[in-house]
Amino acid sequence: MGKGVGKGRSNSSARWLNEHENDPYVQMARKQGYRSRAVYKLKEINEKDKLLRPGQIVVDLGAAPGGWSQLARPLLGPKGRLIALDILPMDPVPDVEFILGDFREGEILQQLEDSVGSHSIDLVLSDMAPNLSGIDVSDQVSSIYLCELALDFAKEHLKPKGMFLTKIFQGEGFDEYLKELRQTFETVTVRKPKASRPRSREVYLLARNFRAV
């Protein structure tokens, strides 16, 4: 029985690796010097929705390996700031301030808040995702929890009319989260970038014009 499980797992791993290696976005990222295929998700959304502009203060949650920060930081210009955070180490990206730690821990959250200081944030990006267990119900709950944390942070630190972009998986809790976003921002748009694999339940929610209280 153990062998069967191991074989199934190795077959699925080999299948994933083969798919990954043949993925056009993986190949394009390598060619263009980006750290991950995820960069093309943000790139498409930014080209459509014009999120990133010179002079902004941006926070990138779940930043490792750094593809989003690579794309975003040059667009902010010399007067902009980008603060990135992840539980995993990330090789330095020029002019990006990186915090290593778990966003759910008070000490790390405080470090992020100290780094932001008294400045209000223009845009919060969240590409956070939990370590997937393969148990759909559990993974969905973990994913929504991270989305809630990111939204709580955005509510605390966004300037009036600020923007929030988060990855979320469609399923239990999605509709409630979408409703909460619509109460907090003037407009909310669902985006499914071409680089998101078609079979994935992953979408991005773009919330604009924060209704600061």
Give 169-186 pLDDT, tens digit per residue. Answer: 999 999 999 999 999 999
* pLDDT for res 23: 82
Token pair, residue 71, equals 């794309």
Cα(23)–Cα(198) distance, integer angstroms? 13
Q: Which is catalytic among the residues 41, 43, 155, 167?
A: 167
167 included as an active-site residue:
yes
- Is the predicted pLDDT of residue 32 greater than 50, yes or no? yes
Beta-sheet strands, E only, within the chain: 57-61, 81-86, 96-100, 121-126, 158-169, 185-191, 202-210
pLDDT at residue 9 tops 60:
no
pLDDT attached to residue 16: 53
Least confident of 53-57, 78-82, 114-118: 114-118
Give me the pLDDT at residue 12, please.
Answer: 64
Is 86 marked within a binding site?
yes
**Do the annotations mark residue 68 as ligand-binding?**
yes
The pLDDT of residue 7: 46
Note the pLDDT of residue 199.
79
**Would you state the pLDDT for residue 21?**
67
Q: Averaged over 98-120, what is the pLDDT?
A: 89
Looking at per-residue pLDDT, the higher value among 161 and 117 belongs to 161
- Contact of 205 with 166, CB cutoff 8 Å: yes
Say whether 95 counts as a known binding-site residue: no
Q: What's the mean pLDDT when you consider all of the chain?
A: 89
The reported pLDDT for the residue numbered 208 is: 98
- Most confident listed range (4-13, 84-93, 98-107, 129-138): 84-93
Q: Which long-range contacts (CB under 8 A, 24 or more apart) does 157-160 make?
A: 157/59, 157/113, 157/116, 157/120, 157/121, 157/124, 158/120, 158/121, 158/122, 158/124, 158/210, 158/212, 159/120, 159/121, 159/122, 159/210, 159/212, 160/120, 160/210, 160/211, 160/212
Place of tokens 């959250």: 109
Amino acid 136: pLDDT? 78
Beta bridge pairs of residue 165? 125, 206
